[in-house]
Amino acid sequence: MLTKSEVIAVAENYVRQLEKESGGTPVIIQHEATIEKPYGYVFFFDSIKFLETRDYKYAILGNAPFLVENETGKIIEFGTAHETEYYINEYEAGRWPDNRRMD
């Protein structure tokens, strides 16, 4: 089982990788929005510039929240088509990420 600090490190490394893949736009995890669950943590992120200005021209499109499982450190990407609670419920029911149908 990973500690909270280890889970956060996994999440930070993940967004650093996304930052590199997106051409270097600086991004940051919104730690105040993190959702703690018994099985892990759900993280949200966006560009630093958007969070500073709230100007949507700086927002990252498709920046879906993601879960880091505290047992394995595995990252589960959620979607953006529904509210985060939908994806959490699907994960808890054992249907996410295997169910790719968006009912």
The residue written with tokens 């967004």 in the block is: 15
Residue 87 in any domain: the answer is: yes
Domain that holds residue 58: 4-92
Number of domains in the chain: 1
Residue 57: what pLDDT? 92
Sign of the CA dihedral 9, 15, 16, 17? Answer: positive
Q: How high is the mean pLDDT of the chain?
A: 92
Q: Above 60 in pLDDT, residue 94?
A: yes
Sign of the CA dihedral 16, 77, 46, 89? Answer: negative
Tokens of 68: 């880091």
Residue 29 in any domain: the answer is: yes
Mean pLDDT of 4-14: 98
Residue 103 in any domain: the answer is: no
Amino acid at 10: V
Strands (DSSP E) contained in the chain are 27-29, 35-37, 40-43, 45-47, 66-69, 75-77
